[in-house]
Structure 1
Amino acid sequence: MYETFESIVDGLAEKGYAVADSFLSQAEVDAILAIHEFAQGIDEFKKAGIGKKQDLQINEAIRGDYIYWLDKQTASAPAKIYLDRLQELIQYINRTLFLSLKDYEVHLTIYPAGSFYKRHLDQFKKDDHRKLSVICYLNNDWHEEHGGQLRMHLADEGALDFLPIAGRLICFRSDQIEHEVIPATRERLSLTGWILDQVADLRHL
Protein backbone atom coordinates (compact mmCIF):
# COMPACT_ATOMS: atom_id res chain seq x y z
CA MET A 1 0.00 0.00 0.00
CA TYR A 2 3.02 2.30 0.45
CA GLU A 3 3.46 2.57 -3.34
CA THR A 4 -0.24 3.37 -3.76
CA PHE A 5 -0.10 6.10 -1.11
CA GLU A 6 3.06 7.50 -2.70
CA SER A 7 1.43 7.67 -6.14
CA ILE A 8 -1.59 9.48 -4.66
CA VAL A 9 0.64 12.02 -2.92
CA ASP A 10 2.68 12.57 -6.11
CA GLY A 11 -0.48 13.15 -8.15
CA LEU A 12 -1.94 15.58 -5.64
CA ALA A 13 1.32 17.54 -5.44
CA GLU A 14 1.85 17.71 -9.21
CA LYS A 15 -1.68 17.92 -10.65
CA GLY A 16 -4.15 18.32 -7.81
CA TYR A 17 -5.61 14.86 -8.42
CA ALA A 18 -4.62 11.19 -8.39
CA VAL A 19 -6.07 7.89 -9.60
CA ALA A 20 -5.13 4.66 -7.81
CA ASP A 21 -6.44 1.36 -9.15
CA SER A 22 -6.85 -1.59 -6.75
CA PHE A 23 -7.08 0.66 -3.67
CA LEU A 24 -9.54 -2.04 -2.63
CA SER A 25 -8.97 -5.64 -3.68
CA GLN A 26 -11.67 -7.57 -5.48
CA ALA A 27 -12.44 -9.51 -2.31
CA GLU A 28 -12.76 -6.27 -0.33
CA VAL A 29 -15.08 -4.78 -2.96
CA ASP A 30 -17.28 -7.88 -2.94
CA ALA A 31 -17.45 -7.85 0.86
CA ILE A 32 -18.62 -4.21 0.88
CA LEU A 33 -21.24 -4.94 -1.78
CA ALA A 34 -22.60 -7.69 0.48
CA ILE A 35 -23.13 -5.48 3.55
CA HIS A 36 -26.69 -4.91 4.71
CA GLU A 37 -27.11 -1.41 3.31
CA PHE A 38 -26.11 -2.28 -0.24
CA ALA A 39 -27.82 -5.68 -0.10
CA GLN A 40 -31.12 -3.97 0.80
CA GLY A 41 -30.70 -1.59 -2.13
CA ILE A 42 -31.96 1.93 -2.52
CA ASP A 43 -34.68 1.60 0.16
CA GLU A 44 -31.96 1.97 2.83
CA PHE A 45 -30.66 5.22 1.30
CA LYS A 46 -31.91 8.79 1.21
CA LYS A 47 -32.09 11.20 -1.70
CA ALA A 48 -28.98 13.36 -1.90
CA GLY A 49 -29.36 17.12 -1.85
CA ILE A 50 -27.45 20.29 -2.67
CA GLY A 51 -25.83 22.29 0.13
CA LYS A 52 -25.96 21.52 3.85
CA LYS A 53 -27.95 22.20 6.99
CA GLN A 54 -30.70 24.77 6.45
CA ASP A 55 -29.53 25.37 2.87
CA LEU A 56 -30.05 21.72 1.83
CA GLN A 57 -32.22 21.33 -1.26
CA ILE A 58 -33.30 18.30 -3.27
CA ASN A 59 -32.96 19.01 -7.00
CA GLU A 60 -32.99 16.06 -9.39
CA ALA A 61 -32.12 18.39 -12.27
CA ILE A 62 -28.68 18.74 -10.66
CA ARG A 63 -28.04 15.39 -8.97
CA GLY A 64 -29.84 12.07 -8.88
CA ASP A 65 -27.90 9.93 -6.43
CA TYR A 66 -28.94 8.30 -3.15
CA ILE A 67 -26.65 8.19 -0.12
CA TYR A 68 -26.14 6.44 3.22
CA TRP A 69 -23.70 8.06 5.65
CA LEU A 70 -21.19 5.80 7.40
CA ASP A 71 -20.36 6.18 11.08
CA LYS A 72 -16.86 4.88 11.84
CA GLN A 73 -18.08 3.65 15.25
CA THR A 74 -20.86 1.46 13.86
CA ALA A 75 -19.69 0.67 10.32
CA SER A 76 -19.67 -2.99 9.31
CA ALA A 77 -16.32 -4.82 9.22
CA PRO A 78 -15.98 -4.65 5.38
CA ALA A 79 -16.68 -0.90 5.36
CA LYS A 80 -14.31 -0.39 8.30
CA ILE A 81 -11.47 -1.87 6.25
CA TYR A 82 -11.92 0.97 3.77
CA LEU A 83 -12.31 3.62 6.49
CA ASP A 84 -9.14 2.43 8.24
CA ARG A 85 -7.22 2.54 4.97
CA LEU A 86 -8.49 6.06 4.39
CA GLN A 87 -7.19 7.02 7.84
CA GLU A 88 -3.79 5.58 6.90
CA LEU A 89 -3.85 7.66 3.71
CA ILE A 90 -4.60 10.81 5.73
CA GLN A 91 -1.63 10.13 7.99
CA TYR A 92 0.63 9.54 4.98
CA ILE A 93 -0.53 12.75 3.27
CA ASN A 94 0.07 14.71 6.46
CA ARG A 95 3.62 13.36 6.75
CA THR A 96 4.48 14.14 3.13
CA LEU A 97 2.41 17.18 2.11
CA PHE A 98 1.99 18.77 5.56
CA LEU A 99 -1.71 19.50 5.07
CA SER A 100 -2.77 19.07 8.74
CA LEU A 101 -5.77 16.95 7.77
CA LYS A 102 -7.87 15.81 10.73
CA ASP A 103 -10.71 13.51 9.73
CA TYR A 104 -13.02 12.26 6.98
CA GLU A 105 -16.70 11.82 6.17
CA VAL A 106 -17.90 9.04 3.86
CA HIS A 107 -21.21 7.85 2.47
CA LEU A 108 -22.28 4.90 0.39
CA THR A 109 -23.61 6.15 -2.94
CA ILE A 110 -26.04 4.71 -5.45
CA TYR A 111 -26.68 6.35 -8.82
CA PRO A 112 -29.68 4.63 -10.44
CA ALA A 113 -29.35 3.99 -14.18
CA GLY A 114 -29.74 7.25 -16.11
CA SER A 115 -29.01 9.55 -13.14
CA PHE A 116 -26.19 12.10 -13.02
CA TYR A 117 -24.59 14.94 -11.08
CA LYS A 118 -23.98 18.18 -12.98
CA ARG A 119 -20.68 20.05 -12.91
CA HIS A 120 -19.81 21.37 -9.43
CA LEU A 121 -17.17 21.94 -6.75
CA ASP A 122 -17.27 19.85 -3.59
CA GLN A 123 -16.35 22.66 -1.21
CA PHE A 124 -19.31 24.55 0.24
CA LYS A 125 -19.49 28.33 -0.17
CA LYS A 126 -19.92 28.84 3.59
CA ASP A 127 -17.72 25.95 4.76
CA ASP A 128 -14.18 25.38 3.46
CA HIS A 129 -13.25 22.38 5.63
CA ARG A 130 -13.44 19.83 2.79
CA LYS A 131 -9.90 19.74 1.44
CA LEU A 132 -9.71 16.50 -0.58
CA SER A 133 -12.47 14.53 -2.28
CA VAL A 134 -12.04 10.74 -2.27
CA ILE A 135 -14.20 8.33 -4.26
CA CYS A 136 -13.70 4.58 -4.35
CA TYR A 137 -15.77 2.67 -6.89
CA LEU A 138 -17.52 -0.66 -6.39
CA ASN A 139 -18.69 -1.55 -9.92
CA ASN A 140 -17.65 -4.98 -11.16
CA ASP A 141 -17.34 -5.66 -14.90
CA TRP A 142 -17.78 -1.99 -15.83
CA HIS A 143 -17.08 -1.08 -19.46
CA GLU A 144 -16.91 2.08 -21.56
CA GLU A 145 -20.36 1.49 -23.04
CA HIS A 146 -21.89 1.62 -19.56
CA GLY A 147 -21.03 5.33 -19.23
CA GLY A 148 -21.05 6.71 -15.68
CA GLN A 149 -17.66 8.39 -15.97
CA LEU A 150 -16.37 10.90 -13.45
CA ARG A 151 -15.50 13.90 -15.63
CA MET A 152 -12.98 16.31 -14.13
CA HIS A 153 -12.59 19.77 -15.64
CA LEU A 154 -8.95 20.83 -15.42
CA ALA A 155 -7.43 24.17 -16.37
CA ASP A 156 -4.39 22.60 -18.06
CA GLU A 157 -5.73 19.30 -19.37
CA GLY A 158 -9.34 20.11 -20.21
CA ALA A 159 -11.99 17.49 -19.46
CA LEU A 160 -10.74 14.07 -18.32
CA ASP A 161 -13.03 11.05 -17.96
CA PHE A 162 -12.51 8.14 -15.56
CA LEU A 163 -14.58 4.98 -15.52
CA PRO A 164 -15.99 3.92 -12.11
CA ILE A 165 -14.11 0.60 -12.05
CA ALA A 166 -14.29 -1.57 -8.92
CA GLY A 167 -11.45 -0.86 -6.48
CA ARG A 168 -10.37 2.38 -8.18
CA LEU A 169 -9.82 5.39 -5.92
CA ILE A 170 -9.87 8.95 -7.25
CA CYS A 171 -8.62 11.73 -4.98
CA PHE A 172 -8.62 15.44 -5.85
CA ARG A 173 -8.64 18.95 -4.44
CA SER A 174 -12.17 19.76 -3.29
CA ASP A 175 -11.67 23.51 -3.67
CA GLN A 176 -10.12 23.52 -7.14
CA ILE A 177 -11.41 20.79 -9.42
CA GLU A 178 -14.91 21.02 -10.86
CA HIS A 179 -16.34 17.65 -11.84
CA GLU A 180 -19.53 15.88 -12.86
CA VAL A 181 -20.98 12.37 -13.08
CA ILE A 182 -22.07 11.25 -16.53
CA PRO A 183 -25.31 9.19 -16.79
CA ALA A 184 -24.82 5.42 -16.90
CA THR A 185 -26.82 2.58 -18.39
CA ARG A 186 -26.68 0.60 -15.13
CA GLU A 187 -26.65 1.27 -11.41
CA ARG A 188 -23.40 2.89 -10.26
CA LEU A 189 -22.02 2.34 -6.74
CA SER A 190 -19.25 4.01 -4.77
CA LEU A 191 -17.85 5.05 -1.42
CA THR A 192 -17.82 8.85 -1.66
CA GLY A 193 -16.11 11.04 0.88
CA TRP A 194 -14.06 14.05 1.84
CA ILE A 195 -10.93 14.54 3.90
CA LEU A 196 -11.30 17.47 6.30
CA ASP A 197 -9.10 19.89 8.20
CA GLN A 198 -11.39 19.53 11.22
CA VAL A 199 -13.02 16.68 13.14
CA ALA A 200 -16.12 15.46 11.30
CA ASP A 201 -19.54 16.02 12.87
CA LEU A 202 -22.00 13.59 11.30
CA ARG A 203 -24.89 15.35 13.07
CA HIS A 204 -24.85 18.07 10.41
CA LEU A 205 -25.15 15.64 7.49
Structure 2
Amino acid sequence: MNSQFNAIADGLAENGYAVIDNFLSPDEVTAIVTLDAFREGMAHFKKAGIGKDHGLQINEAIRGDYIQWLDKNTSPAPVLAYLDKLNQLVLFLNQSLFLSLKDYEVHLTVYPAGAYYKRHLDQFKKNDHRRLSVICYLNKDWTENEGGQLRMHLDKETLDTLPVAGRLVCFRSDQIEHEVLPATRERLSLTGWMLDQLADVRI
Protein backbone atom coordinates (compact mmCIF):
# COMPACT_ATOMS: atom_id res chain seq x y z
CA MET A 1 0.00 0.00 0.00
CA ASN A 2 2.87 2.39 0.72
CA SER A 3 4.09 2.12 -2.88
CA GLN A 4 0.61 3.07 -4.11
CA PHE A 5 0.42 5.96 -1.68
CA ASN A 6 3.84 7.17 -2.79
CA ALA A 7 2.78 6.99 -6.45
CA ILE A 8 -0.37 9.01 -5.68
CA ALA A 9 1.62 11.65 -3.80
CA ASP A 10 4.22 11.87 -6.58
CA GLY A 11 1.54 12.22 -9.26
CA LEU A 12 -0.29 14.94 -7.36
CA ALA A 13 2.93 16.86 -6.70
CA GLU A 14 4.19 16.64 -10.29
CA ASN A 15 1.01 16.74 -12.37
CA GLY A 16 -1.96 17.47 -10.13
CA TYR A 17 -3.37 13.96 -10.67
CA ALA A 18 -2.55 10.27 -10.25
CA VAL A 19 -3.99 7.06 -11.75
CA ILE A 20 -3.31 3.87 -9.77
CA ASP A 21 -4.41 0.36 -10.72
CA ASN A 22 -5.37 -2.35 -8.20
CA PHE A 23 -6.12 0.06 -5.36
CA LEU A 24 -8.90 -2.42 -4.64
CA SER A 25 -8.30 -6.11 -5.33
CA PRO A 26 -10.73 -8.13 -7.49
CA ASP A 27 -12.14 -9.73 -4.32
CA GLU A 28 -12.65 -6.32 -2.69
CA VAL A 29 -14.43 -5.04 -5.80
CA THR A 30 -16.68 -8.12 -5.86
CA ALA A 31 -17.56 -7.67 -2.18
CA ILE A 32 -18.70 -4.09 -2.84
CA VAL A 33 -20.64 -4.58 -6.08
CA THR A 34 -22.58 -7.52 -4.63
CA LEU A 35 -23.90 -5.42 -1.75
CA ASP A 36 -27.65 -4.88 -1.68
CA ALA A 37 -27.15 -1.18 -2.50
CA PHE A 38 -25.76 -2.05 -5.93
CA ARG A 39 -27.70 -5.27 -6.56
CA GLU A 40 -31.02 -3.50 -6.05
CA GLY A 41 -29.95 -0.92 -8.59
CA MET A 42 -31.13 2.67 -8.57
CA ALA A 43 -34.24 2.06 -6.42
CA HIS A 44 -32.33 3.35 -3.38
CA PHE A 45 -30.18 5.92 -5.18
CA LYS A 46 -30.98 9.62 -5.59
CA LYS A 47 -30.68 11.54 -8.84
CA ALA A 48 -27.48 13.57 -8.62
CA GLY A 49 -27.73 17.33 -8.91
CA ILE A 50 -25.60 20.37 -9.65
CA GLY A 51 -24.49 22.63 -6.79
CA LYS A 52 -24.86 22.31 -3.03
CA ASP A 53 -27.52 22.80 -0.35
CA HIS A 54 -30.11 25.43 -1.36
CA GLY A 55 -28.41 25.88 -4.74
CA LEU A 56 -28.81 22.21 -5.67
CA GLN A 57 -30.48 21.65 -9.04
CA ILE A 58 -31.28 18.55 -11.06
CA ASN A 59 -30.18 19.03 -14.66
CA GLU A 60 -30.04 15.89 -16.79
CA ALA A 61 -28.51 17.87 -19.66
CA ILE A 62 -25.37 18.24 -17.52
CA ARG A 63 -25.20 15.00 -15.52
CA GLY A 64 -27.14 11.76 -15.50
CA ASP A 65 -25.78 9.75 -12.57
CA TYR A 66 -27.44 8.43 -9.41
CA ILE A 67 -25.77 8.50 -6.00
CA GLN A 68 -26.01 7.17 -2.46
CA TRP A 69 -23.93 8.87 0.25
CA LEU A 70 -21.94 6.58 2.53
CA ASP A 71 -21.89 6.73 6.32
CA LYS A 72 -18.52 6.01 7.91
CA ASN A 73 -20.17 4.40 10.94
CA THR A 74 -22.92 2.27 9.43
CA SER A 75 -21.62 1.24 5.99
CA PRO A 76 -21.17 -2.49 5.28
CA ALA A 77 -17.78 -4.03 6.02
CA PRO A 78 -16.54 -4.10 2.38
CA VAL A 79 -17.20 -0.36 2.08
CA LEU A 80 -15.62 0.35 5.45
CA ALA A 81 -12.47 -1.42 4.26
CA TYR A 82 -12.26 1.03 1.36
CA LEU A 83 -13.00 4.02 3.61
CA ASP A 84 -10.21 2.90 5.94
CA LYS A 85 -7.79 2.97 2.99
CA LEU A 86 -8.97 6.48 2.17
CA ASN A 87 -8.40 7.58 5.74
CA GLN A 88 -4.87 6.18 5.65
CA LEU A 89 -4.31 7.98 2.34
CA VAL A 90 -5.46 11.27 3.89
CA LEU A 91 -2.92 10.86 6.69
CA PHE A 92 -0.16 9.95 4.23
CA LEU A 93 -0.83 12.92 1.94
CA ASN A 94 -0.89 15.28 4.90
CA GLN A 95 2.55 14.03 5.93
CA SER A 96 4.07 13.97 2.44
CA LEU A 97 2.44 17.00 0.78
CA PHE A 98 1.44 19.12 3.81
CA LEU A 99 -2.15 19.48 2.55
CA SER A 100 -3.89 19.91 5.95
CA LEU A 101 -6.72 17.59 4.91
CA LYS A 102 -9.25 17.05 7.70
CA ASP A 103 -11.90 14.67 6.37
CA TYR A 104 -13.43 13.03 3.31
CA GLU A 105 -16.87 12.25 1.89
CA VAL A 106 -17.84 9.44 -0.48
CA HIS A 107 -20.89 8.23 -2.34
CA LEU A 108 -21.71 5.16 -4.40
CA THR A 109 -22.28 6.25 -7.99
CA VAL A 110 -24.24 4.62 -10.81
CA TYR A 111 -24.21 5.93 -14.38
CA PRO A 112 -26.88 4.15 -16.43
CA ALA A 113 -25.92 3.23 -19.99
CA GLY A 114 -25.75 6.42 -22.06
CA ALA A 115 -25.46 8.76 -19.05
CA TYR A 116 -22.68 11.34 -18.84
CA TYR A 117 -21.42 14.35 -16.88
CA LYS A 118 -20.34 17.40 -18.83
CA ARG A 119 -17.06 19.25 -18.25
CA HIS A 120 -16.83 20.80 -14.78
CA LEU A 121 -14.74 21.49 -11.68
CA ASP A 122 -15.53 19.63 -8.45
CA GLN A 123 -14.93 22.61 -6.18
CA PHE A 124 -18.06 24.69 -5.49
CA LYS A 125 -17.91 28.46 -6.03
CA LYS A 126 -19.38 29.22 -2.60
CA ASN A 127 -17.84 26.25 -0.78
CA ASP A 128 -14.21 25.64 -1.67
CA HIS A 129 -13.34 22.93 0.85
CA ARG A 130 -12.92 20.10 -1.65
CA ARG A 131 -9.17 19.74 -2.22
CA LEU A 132 -8.80 16.35 -3.89
CA SER A 133 -11.25 14.30 -5.92
CA VAL A 134 -10.92 10.53 -5.49
CA ILE A 135 -12.70 7.98 -7.69
CA CYS A 136 -12.38 4.21 -7.44
CA TYR A 137 -13.97 2.19 -10.23
CA LEU A 138 -15.91 -1.05 -9.78
CA ASN A 139 -16.48 -2.22 -13.37
CA LYS A 140 -15.23 -5.71 -14.13
CA ASP A 141 -14.00 -6.69 -17.61
CA TRP A 142 -14.42 -3.16 -18.96
CA THR A 143 -13.26 -2.65 -22.55
CA GLU A 144 -12.35 0.51 -24.43
CA ASN A 145 -15.22 0.18 -26.90
CA GLU A 146 -17.69 0.41 -24.00
CA GLY A 147 -16.71 4.05 -23.42
CA GLY A 148 -17.37 5.69 -20.05
CA GLN A 149 -13.93 7.31 -19.81
CA LEU A 150 -13.08 9.99 -17.30
CA ARG A 151 -11.66 12.80 -19.44
CA MET A 152 -9.36 15.20 -17.58
CA HIS A 153 -8.62 18.52 -19.26
CA LEU A 154 -4.99 19.28 -18.52
CA ASP A 155 -2.95 22.35 -19.48
CA LYS A 156 -1.85 21.12 -22.91
CA GLU A 157 -3.82 17.93 -23.48
CA THR A 158 -6.72 15.77 -22.45
CA LEU A 159 -6.28 12.46 -20.66
CA ASP A 160 -8.90 9.71 -20.96
CA THR A 161 -9.04 7.01 -18.27
CA LEU A 162 -11.17 3.89 -18.55
CA PRO A 163 -13.28 2.99 -15.47
CA VAL A 164 -11.53 -0.34 -14.89
CA ALA A 165 -12.33 -2.26 -11.69
CA GLY A 166 -9.96 -1.44 -8.83
CA ARG A 167 -8.48 1.63 -10.54
CA LEU A 168 -8.17 4.81 -8.43
CA VAL A 169 -7.99 8.30 -9.91
CA CYS A 170 -7.05 11.22 -7.65
CA PHE A 171 -6.77 14.83 -8.79
CA ARG A 172 -6.91 18.45 -7.66
CA SER A 173 -10.57 19.44 -7.25
CA ASP A 174 -9.84 23.14 -7.75
CA GLN A 175 -7.63 22.86 -10.83
CA ILE A 176 -8.57 20.00 -13.14
CA GLU A 177 -11.74 20.25 -15.17
CA HIS A 178 -13.09 16.87 -16.19
CA GLU A 179 -16.07 15.07 -17.68
CA VAL A 180 -17.55 11.59 -17.81
CA LEU A 181 -18.18 10.24 -21.31
CA PRO A 182 -21.23 8.08 -22.11
CA ALA A 183 -20.87 4.31 -21.86
CA THR A 184 -22.72 1.43 -23.46
CA ARG A 185 -23.25 -0.31 -20.10
CA GLU A 186 -23.90 0.67 -16.50
CA ARG A 187 -20.87 2.28 -14.85
CA LEU A 188 -20.18 1.94 -11.11
CA SER A 189 -17.76 3.79 -8.84
CA LEU A 190 -16.97 5.05 -5.37
CA THR A 191 -16.71 8.81 -5.82
CA GLY A 192 -15.37 11.07 -3.10
CA TRP A 193 -13.49 14.16 -2.04
CA MET A 194 -10.82 14.94 0.52
CA LEU A 195 -11.68 18.09 2.43
CA ASP A 196 -9.89 20.78 4.43
CA GLN A 197 -12.76 20.82 6.93
CA LEU A 198 -15.01 18.22 8.59
CA ALA A 199 -17.57 16.72 6.22
CA ASP A 200 -21.23 17.72 6.41
CA VAL A 201 -23.77 15.24 7.70
CA ARG A 202 -25.33 13.55 4.67
CA ILE A 203 -28.82 12.05 4.47
Q: How does 1:94-109 map to 2 (within 5 A)?
A: 94-109=94-109
Partner residue, 1:89: 89
Shift of 1:39: 1.3
Partner residue, 2:5: 5
Structure 1 stretches of 4+ moved >6 Å: none
Q: Separation in 1 of the partners of 2:201 and 2:134? A: 17
Q: Separation in 1 of the partners of 2:153 and 2:145? A: 21
Q: Separation in 1 of the partners of 2:128 and 2:54? A: 17
Partner residue, 1:198: 197
Shift of 1:49: 0.1
Partner residue, 2:176: 177
Shift of 1:202: 2.3
Partner residue, 1:39: 39
Give the alignment's Cα RMSD to 1 decimal. 0.7
Flag structure 1 segments of 5+ consecutive residues without an equivalent: none
User: Residues 16-65 of structure 1, C-alpha deviation per residue, up to 9 Å, x if partnerless?
Assistant: 00001000000000000011111111111000000010000000000000
Q: Separation in 2 of the partners of 1:36 and 1:194? A: 24
Aligned partner of residue 92 in structure 1, secondary structure: helix
User: In the alignment, is the contact (CA less than 8 A) between 1:67 and 1:110 conserved in 2?
Assistant: yes
Aligned partner of residue 41 in structure 2, secondary structure: helix
The two structures have a TM-score, normalised by structure 2, of 0.99
> How many percent of aligned residue pairs carry the same amino acid?
69
Partner residue, 2:24: 24
Partner residue, 1:114: 114
Flag structure 2 segments of 5+ consecutive residues without an equivalent: none
Count matched residues: 203
Q: How does 1:111-190 map to 2 (within 5 A)?
A: 111-156=111-156, 158-190=157-189
Shift of 1:112: 0.1
Aligned partner of residue 43 in structure 2, secondary structure: helix
User: Residues 67-114 of structure 1, C-alpha deviation per residue, up to 9 Å, x if partnerless?
Assistant: 000000111000000000000000000010001101000000000000
